[in-house]
A and B are shown apart, each in its own frame.
Chain A
Amino acid sequence: MERIVIAGFGGQGVLSLGQLLVYAAMYENQYATWLPSYGPEMRGGTANCSVVIDAEKPVASPIIATSDTLIAMNKPSLDKFQMSVKSGGLIVINSSLITDKCANTAAKAVYVDANRIAHENGNNKASNLVILGAYIRHSGLFPKEVILSTIEKVYASKPQFIPSNKACFEAGFALD
């Protein structure tokens, strides 16, 4: 079971990043839940979602107290959620917007200059896919090909975004 908290500003693709993971799980016949924060705090403020993926059995609690992974797209999100990551867990940090170092030393921190990489790969809005690439590489949650085909299926109605989205994902995946 993998419990992931994804958090950032509204507009950073936080919710859609979580949905991509749940789509991938569905296509792989795994079980998954996606639970967003909702309400006024979404308007120009922080957005976050909780994703739980289980390869074997239906997900019980969609609520995450202790996470296996945190994806922090901005500083308030890192501050708020990093201490809830379990010992030995993973914290993926968007270093384009977060200059702090991770304070949870029991977890593994991965720093990704996501905004710059997204820009270089032709899609300023796809920093979330760069982060996704880095996360998939470090977690091994799904094979790379599963995410690539998920991007194709999910963006089938907006085919113009598929090449740059895939490029951003690949660029994040290629980082050490």
Chain B
Amino acid sequence: MTTVFEKTSFLTDAPFHYCPGCTHGIAHRIVAESLEEIGAEGRCVGVAPVGCAVFAYNYFNCDMQEAAHGRAPAVATGIKLVNPDNIVFAYQGDGDLASIGMAEIVHAATRGVNITVIFINNAIYGMTGGQMAPTTLLGQKSTTCPSGRSAQVNGYPVRMCEMLATLDGPSYIARCSLADVKNVRQAKRAVLKAFQNQKEGKGFSFVELLSTCPTNWHMSPVQALEYVKNEMTAQYPLGVFKEI
């Protein structure tokens, strides 16, 4: 019998706890494959967030630290400064990164610290049960904006890539989608590029991945993918926002 496909060695055998139709699993695999491909094994530390990916420390086959809510970029900065030769990454959701942790991500980016941040944007607080996120779309319903997000009441959704791209510190900023195979392949290339940048010492790199939350969006997995493709991508255009 011939082996035609193997799971990347950078993921452990622990089964994911994510909901059916959630794209965290795809994002994990992309990150893990990229880490394997750049040869990060045995020289890698990841930082898990607070949110749905809190158990990421069980899945990535490397040393891991679990950070307080929003603080992953600060924790990763401490780790990187102590051992600059290690590949260090933070994996964060939208509430973690773009709300409570806004200061930490902006300053890690402007400092240009040579880490890689993977930003999962699914426009909702998943772990806590579907509350409004900083990236929730106008009109999108959540348990804390039950009649839909209103600009007047709730303000506007925040575009992280565009904001961070105004800074001098980052070396690479890209937004991709996990909505279909073509986009997943594109996302893989972006994540790989982000880690290669770190390996080459180019400085802070950041990849936003538009993701699903069928459970809290109250959609089927297929509907959720369509929502990413049509609604989310309209608000959050895909592309590379900075590359040096």
Please determine if A and B sit in direct contact within the complex, based on CB atoms under 8 angstroms apart: no
